[in-house]
Amino acid sequence: MGAQRRAHHAAEQAKRDAAEQGRQMMVMLKQQQDAYAKMVETLKPKPVEAPAKTIRSTVDDANVGVKTSRSKRKTIRGLGAGAAALRIPLNLADTSGLNIG
């Protein structure tokens, strides 16, 4: 009976030792995993931020000044002045060389 008890106690002690070694191994693996994660973070390339480009507004350039209201007559007169500014001479006297159409 004494030998059986000693064998049982030895087996139980071996189980406890194995469990303790397992816990130590898990702690060591966890620390190693954390160290690797930190190393990976330090080795990752950092994103390079491009400098912010300032975009010049063209709204102010296009709408300089205050627009005044124009009557319909002034608008039509302005269109006629634009066509007259082309200054295309019409040769109506010479019937052989009309430059119309």
List the pLDDT tens digit at each of the 101 positions of the chain: 789 999 999 999 999 999 999 999 999 999 999 999 999 999 888 888 877 777 766 655 655 666 666 677 777 766 666 656 666 666 556 666 555 65
- 3-state SS, the chain, equals CHHHHHHHHHHHHHHHHHHHHHHHHHHHHHHHHHHHHHHHHHHCCCCCCCCCCCCCCCHHHHCCCCCCCCCHHHHHHHHHHHHHCCCCCCCCCCCCCCCCC
* C-alpha distances out from residue 86 to 2, 76, 83, 94, Å: 127, 16, 6, 21
Q: Which tokens hold the place of 58?
A: 């063209």
Q: Residue 77 is encoded by which pair of tokens?
A: 């007169």
Write down the domain spans for the chain.
Answer: 1-43
Res 39: pLDDT: 93
pLDDT at residue 28 in the model: 96
The pLDDT score that the predictor gives to residue 85 is 64
Task: Please state whether the predicted TM-score (pTM) of the whole model is above 0.75.
Answer: no
